[in-house]
Amino acid sequence: MIDFNKIKGFICDMDGVIYRGNQVIPGVHEFIDWLHKEDKKFLFLTNNSCYTPKELQQKLARMGLDVSEDHFYTSALATAAFLKDQAPGCSVYAIGEAALFNALYDAGITMNDINPDYVVVGEGKTYSFDTITKATNLVRGGAKLIGTNSDVSAPIETGIMPACGALVSPIEIATGKKAYFCGKPNPLMMRTGLRLLNCHSDEAVMVGDRMDTDVISGLESGMKTVLVLSGVSTVETLKTFGYRPSAVLEGVGDIAKFAEEYDD
């Protein structure tokens, strides 16, 4: 078991770790109280591109959780940062929510549905047959295909919903072009998270509910990893992967519980 008292920085996923849809997961209040009490550095690093850091801060506040806006980083921000670095001042055709558009605008990227440099796909209610048809033909015309994250599903109160990896797949299949994904497990996003925490990888732990994004991204970044079973993964899921997390817990509340027991 990891000695969580010796960990300086915590990078946590959100969907399936902190909440499912609009329901907070049991043990989360205790976990966040412990982070504050122990003065731990922490960052919520989410592949969900639908919300801005301010919206995420407000969402947690409605659940009774006190977390300031600077503790959030999203795949929308990671995508905008990647495009700004690759092609400053480029134009895109984007499918997604306002948070994605805001991140792109803030990075100096403009919208273009005629001859964009990139087609960018995130989750959102604007996704439709018309938008994927438009995106498909723009990619066929030479635009490069970018996805905010490779997750194929995300947990909600009633089960799961399709996520970006699933939503971008019709465009990939129709064009024969593969999307480049900017969210986890892309190491660019993990390095950004560690930089924001001002933490070295061997001093940090990645906490998530997915083996294929959260655990692998932490593992390949040199971090300790915790898989929680409060989201999409189960004990059976572990058997299908050739790597293992440092610890498997029922939920993040166990982190605070084990840390306090270790102290005793």
Active site members: 13, 15
Q: Please say whether the beta carbons of 139 and 115 come within 8 A.
A: no
Tell me if 118 sits within 8 A of 89, measured CB to CB. no
Separation of alpha carbons 93 and 91, rounded Å: 7
Quote the CA–CA distance of 38 and 51 in Å, as a whole number: 28
Nearest-CA neighbor of 255 among 86, 3, 73, 49? 3
Q: Alpha helices of the chain — where are they, by DSSP H?
A: 28-37, 53-62, 75-86, 98-106, 129-140, 164-175, 187-197, 216-220, 235-238, 253-263
Check: CB of residue 18 under 8 Å from CB of residue 24: yes
CB contact set of 169 (below 8 Å; sequence gap of 6+): 152
Q: To which residue do tokens 């795949």 refer?
A: 75
